[in-house]
Amino acid sequence: MSTFQAPKGTYDLTPPRSATFLAVREAIAAPLRDSGYGYIETPGFENVELFARGVGESTDIVTKEMYTLTTKGGDQLALRPEGTASVLRAALEANLHKAGNLPVKLWYSGSYYRYERPQAGRYRHFSQVGAEAIGTEDPVLDAELLILADQAYRSLGLRRFRILLNSLGDKECRPVYREALQTFLRDLDLDEETRRRIEINPLRVLDDKRADVQKQLTDAPKLRDHLCDACKAYHEEVRALLTTAGVAFEDDEKLVRGLDYYTRTTFEFVHDGLGAQSAVGGGGRYDGLSEMIGGPELPSVGWALGVDRTVLALEAEGIELDLPRTTSVYAVPLGEEARRVLFGVVTELRRAGIAADFAFGGRGLKGAMKSANRSGARYTLVAGERDLADGVVQLKDMESGEQGPVELAEVAAELTKRLG
Ligand code: ATP
Ligand code: MG
C-alpha cells in the first residue's frame, strides 16, 4: 500500500467489480440509444452561476454540497453536482433546439461531485447515466422515459425496484398550492432552519426525513387537490400510458425531489434492498429551466440514474451479471524463441478480432497456467522448443481439457473456427 488513499467519500473501481459498473452503464444506455437519444458529453465543471440558477439557490445541492473553486484567472467554477443544467446549457449553446427537430433527445454518462456526509450508497464522487428530452410538452415523452428506465433496470435482472410518481403542477397551480402549504406550515412546531425553508421552498419541507416532522405533516394540504385541469389531464395521460405499457408505479403525493426546477411529472426509482439510500434514480419534467438559465421556453423532461447504487441494488438482489469473458485465448511460451513466436501469434489473433493475452515475464509453466485459468480464457496455446521445431503449438481446450498440436500457420484460422 502507498502512503496515499482515495479521498474521503470516494472509492476506486478495480477489476473485477469495475466490469459490473461498465455493464450497468451500458445496460442503462442501450435502451436510450435504441430510442433516438444522442450521446452528449459536457465538462466536469461549469460556472458556479449555472448551478445556482439551474439547480436552485435554496437546494441542499447548491447551499451545502457543491465543490466550488476560484481559478487562477478569477473564474468561479463548480464541479458538476448533476447533469441536467449542463446538458441544457450545452444544447442551447449548440443551438440544437433550432434545428427544427424537437424534442432534442440526449443521453449522458459521467462523474458527479457532491460534498455529502459519506455513508453506504452516498459518496462524494459518483456516477450517473442520464437522459433529457428537450423542447416538447407531451405526456408520451414523459412515459417514454419512465418506460426506458424500467426496461434498463429489468434488463439487469432487477426486480425489487419501484417507481414513485407525482405531479408538481405548473406555473398556474403550483403558486396557489405553495401559499396554502406555507399557511399550514407556519403554524407547526419547527426549528429555525425549517422555518426559513418554508419561506424559500416550502415544498421541500414535505421531503423532510425526520419522523417528528413527518408526523406533523399528516394533514398538510395535498398538491393533488390543487392541480389545475390541464395538469390533472396531463398527469392522468402519463399514468394511463404507463399502465398500457405494463409498467407498474405508485402514486406518491409527497414526492417533491431536491431540485427547484421540476414541474408536473416527477418521479423517483427506489430499491428496497438499499436501506436509507434507497433512491437509485430520479427525474421529471422541468418546463421552466431553460428560461431560468437565459434560454427560450423549452419544456423538457429527463432523469438520472445512479450507477453506484444500481450496482449495490444488484448485489442486494444477489444478481451476478452474465458478463462475456474478456480473454478468449491465453498464450504460454516456454523459452526465448517461443516467446517471440507466440507473441507474434497473439498479435495476429488480436488483429483478427480474437481477445488474446500472454504470459509475460518468462514465467514457468505452472504459474503461467494459473494465470491462464484466472483469465477465464477458453483456450490456451503452449509452445516449447520441441513444438517450434515441429512447426506447431499445443492448443488446449480449457473446458474439456482436450489438447493437441496445431500447425503454426493454422492457429488463427483454427481458433476463429472454434470460437465461432
Ligand atoms: P438522495 O435523496 O439520495 O440524496 P438525490 O435526490 O440527491 O438523492 P438526484 O439528484 O436525483 O439524487 O440524483 C439521481 C441519482 O443519483 C440518485 O437517485 C442516486 O442514485 C444517485 N446519487 C445522488 N447523489 C448520490 C451520492 N452522493 N452518491 C451516490 N449516488 C448518488
Ligand atoms: Mg441528495
Using the mean position of ligand 2's atoms as its centre, give its distance from the Cα of residue 341 in Å.
56
Does residue 408 surpass a pLDDT of 90?
yes
Phi (first) and psi of residue 382, to 5 degrees: -120, 135
244: cell is: 398500457
Residue-level pLDDT at 259? 66
Residue-level pLDDT at 209? 82
Using the mean position of ligand 2's atoms as its centre, give its distance from the Cα of residue 210 in Å.
15
Q: Considering only CA atoms, which of 138, 133, 156 is closest in space to residue 36?
A: 133
Residues in contact with ligand 1 by the CB-under-6-Å rule are: 82, 114, 116, 121-123, 126, 128, 257-258, 277, 279-282, 304, 306, 308-309
pTM for the structure as a whole = 0.93
Mutate-to-test residue for ligand 1 from 13, 269, 277, highest number of ligand atoms within 8 A of CB: 277
Using the mean position of ligand 2's atoms as its centre, give its distance from the Cα of residue 65 in Å.
8
Mutate-to-test residue for ligand 1 from 128, 256, 267, highest number of ligand atoms within 8 A of CB: 128
pLDDT 10s digits, 175-233: 899 999 999 999 999 999 999 989 988 888 888 889 999 999 999 998 889 999 999 99
Residue 310 contacts residue 28 (beta carbons within 8 Å)? yes
Using the mean position of ligand 2's atoms as its centre, give its distance from the Cα of residue 247 in Å.
26
Residue-level pLDDT at 258? 60
pLDDT 10s digits, 92-124: 999 999 978 899 999 999 999 999 999 999 999
Dihedral sign, CA of 4, 17, 272, 83? positive
Using the mean position of ligand 2's atoms as its centre, give its distance from the Cα of residue 85 in Å.
16
pLDDT 10s digits, 375-406: 999 999 999 999 999 999 999 999 999 999 99
Dist. CA 188–CA 190, nearest whole Å: 6
Q: What does the pLDDT average to over 63-83? A: 97
pLDDT 10s digits, 239-265: 999 999 999 999 998 888 766 678 999
Structural domains of the chain sorted by starting position, each given as residue range(s) with its CATH number in brackets: 17-173+227-316 (3.30.930.10), 329-419 (3.40.50.800)
Residue 151 contacts residue 19 (beta carbons within 8 Å)? no
Residue-level pLDDT at 326? 86
Which one of the ligands is nearest to 277 CA?
A: 1
Dist. CA 235–CA 241, nearest whole Å: 10
Question: Residue type for 273, please?
Answer: G
324: cell is: 462475456
Distances from the Cα of 26 to the Cα of 12, 19, 129, 156, 191, angstroms: 19, 11, 9, 10, 44
Residue 237 contacts residue 229 (beta carbons within 8 Å)? no
274: cell is: 438499499
Question: Which atom in ligand 1 lies closest to the alpha carbon of residue 303?
Answer: 14
Which helix (H) or strand (E) segment holds residue 229: the answer is helix 229-244
| Angle (deg, nearest 10), helices 411-418 and 336-351 | 50
